[in-house]
């Protein structure tokens, strides 16, 4: 800790954000990089970290700030040769519906698309997280980048926890219970793309963040990326609603609306039983909402990946995948 008379090097970044309505401004991409570099190197006091995160929360992140934060995180990671086809972030947790996106990602993997999913252990009460669903499918967590790469080769699916990717960020995401609010960490983790996949798909909850993710991806030179307002904030199409997807393709920005698949909204289930994920995959539980969500989410990913050049073709391809799936793939 610095003496009372010497200003801490990190104080400047807090001042930039907190110097009143007229004096404050967003961080530049370079400043955001330096600030996050200091945080990850444990060169910041706890009270400074709390102030910084909450000032960022109040003003909300700019694309430049997000890009700088992500670059600082990536600088701490091993330089991995691209092994995943599709980067899939899963950090929100589900509370109204089951995490059907798990089946979407496994459906893609079954058809030869290497999917790297990354997320965190439960950081918000009353939600179901991808990490907790893995045992249902007898899927291990990758305990290192090397094991994730190995799993992608053997089963075309791997899950890396934030704790493995970046312990400091994992600690920060779990501050939500202490602060009572999400922080920029919840946004930047979705953009990490730890295995440098050429394609990245992200879900958000607040629609205003869609263009921020899109523009940050552009700054990060992410070749192909899609972001959608997902059910519960996860990368999952809600078939009861129109779904706006904003994308980046080789520096070209685009957006399209995927229409609702049902005329009437479904009633959310009274309780969530994760076993139904397996039952729906195995065909022992017929659920039209679940199947539409699984197929519809996979379709968005397939169009992003260039496996189909229209929504109709992507939807048909995803439907074909679903009907031909190996129903016994996850039997114990």
User: Strand, helix or coil at 253?
Assistant: strand
User: What kind and span of H or E run contains 90?
Assistant: strand 86-90
Task: Give the H/E segment covering residue 158.
Answer: strand 157-161
Q: Which residues face 257 on adjacent strands? A: 244
Residue 123 has pLDDT above 70, yes or no: no
CA–CA distance, 202 with 128 (Å, rounded to integer): 17
Q: Are 39 and 93 in a shared domain?
A: no
pLDDT value at position 1? 56
Ranges 1-5, 95-99, 121-125: which has the least confidence: 1-5
> Does any domain span residue 207?
yes
In-domain check, residue 3: no
- Tens of pLDDT along 194-249? 999 999 999 988 778 788 999 999 999 999 999 999 898 899 999 999 999 999 99
Distance of CA 327 to the CA centre of its chain: 27
Per-residue pLDDT, 309: 96
Domain shared by 53 and 99, yes or no = no
For residue 28, give its domain range.
Answer: 11-59
Contact 321, 111 (CB under 8 A): yes
What pLDDT is recorded for position 182? 78
Same domain, 220 and 118: yes
The model's confidence at residue 41, banded by pLDDT at 50, 70 and 90, is very high
For the stretch 137-173, pLDDT in tens is 999 999 999 999 999 999 999 999 999 999 999 999 9
With respect to residue 80, please indicate whether it lies within any of the assigned structural domains. Answer: no
Statement to judge: residues 242 and 297 lie in one domain: yes
Are 162 and 260 contained in the same domain? yes
For residues 82 and 126, the answer to whether their CB atoms sit within 8 Å is no
Confidence of residue 27 (pLDDT cuts 50, 70, 90): very high
- Segment 180-190, tens digit of pLDDT: 877 889 899 99
How many domains, in total, are found in the chain?
2
Q: Write down the pLDDT at residue 3.
A: 57
Do 49 and 90 belong to one domain?
no
- The verdict on residue 122 lying in a domain is yes
CATH for 156:
3.40.1030.10
Give the pLDDT of residue 5. 81
What confidence score (pLDDT) does residue 206 get?
79
Average pLDDT across the chain, whole number: 93
Of 95 and 177, the one with more pLDDT: 95
Is residue 78, in this structure, part of any structural domain at all? Answer: no
What integer pLDDT is reported at residue 277 of this predicted model?
97
Under the banding of pLDDT at 50, 70 and 90, the label for residue 34 is: very high
Whether residue 2 is predicted with pLDDT greater than 60 in this model: the reply is: no
Among left, alpha and beta (phi > 0; psi -120 to 50; other), residue 26 is: beta
- For tokens 């893995």, the residue is 134
Q: What is the pLDDT of residue 239?
A: 97
Residue 253 within a domain: yes
Residues 50 and 108 in one domain: no
Bridge-based pairing of strands 243-249 and 252-258 is antiparallel
Note the pLDDT tens digit of each residue in 70-102.
Answer: 999 999 999 877 789 999 999 999 999 999 999
Domain co-membership, 112 together with 261: yes
Looking at the structure, tell me whether residues 121 and 239 fall in a common domain: yes
Report how far residue 261's alpha carbon sits from residue 278's, in angstroms, rounded to the nearest whole number: 23
Tell me whether residue 73 is in a domain.
Answer: no
Q: How many CA atoms lie within 13 A of 149 on its CB side?
A: 13
Q: Are residues 110 and 31 in the same domain?
A: no
């Amino acid at each position: 800790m610095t003496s009372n008379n010497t200003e801490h090097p990190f104080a400047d970044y807090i001042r930039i954000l907190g110097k009143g309505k007229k004096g404050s401004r967003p961080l530049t991409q370079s400043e955001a990089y330096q600030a996050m570099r200091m945080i990850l190197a444990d060169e910041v006091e706890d009270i400074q970290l709390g102030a910084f995160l909450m000032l960022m929360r109040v003003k909300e992140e700019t694309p430049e700030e997000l890009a700088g934060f992500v670059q600082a995180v990536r600088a701490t990671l091993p330089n991995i040769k691209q092994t995943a086809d599709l980067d899939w972030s899963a950090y929100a947790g589900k509370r109204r519906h089951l995490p059907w996106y798990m089946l979407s990602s496994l459906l893609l993997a079954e058809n030869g698309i290497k999917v790297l999913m990354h997320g965190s252990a439960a950081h918000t009460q009353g939600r179901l997280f991808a990490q907790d669903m893995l045992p249902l499918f007898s899927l291990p967590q990758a305990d290192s980048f090397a094991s994730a790469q190995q799993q992608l080769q053997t089963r075309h699916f791997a899950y890396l926890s934030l704790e493995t990717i970046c312990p400091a960020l994992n600690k920060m995401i779990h501050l939500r219970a202490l602060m009572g609010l999400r922080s920029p960490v919840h946004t930047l983790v979705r953009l990490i793309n730890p295995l440098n996949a050429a394609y990245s798909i992200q879900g958000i909850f607040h629609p205003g963040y869609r263009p921020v993710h899109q523009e940050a991806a552009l700054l990060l030179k992410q070749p192909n990326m899609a972001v959608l307002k997902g059910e519960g904030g996860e990368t999952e199409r809600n078939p009861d609603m129109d779904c706006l997807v904003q994308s980046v393709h080789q520096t070209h920005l685009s957006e399209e609306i995927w229409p609702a698949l049902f005329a009437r909204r479904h009633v959310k289930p009274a309780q969530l039983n994760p076993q139904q994920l397996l039952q729906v995959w195995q065909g022992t539980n017929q659920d039209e909402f679940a199947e539409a969500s699984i197929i519809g989410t996979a379709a968005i990913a397939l169009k992003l990946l260039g496996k189909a050049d229209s929504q109709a073709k992507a939807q048909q391809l995803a439907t074909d995948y679903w009907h031909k799936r190996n129903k016994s793939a996850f039997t114990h």
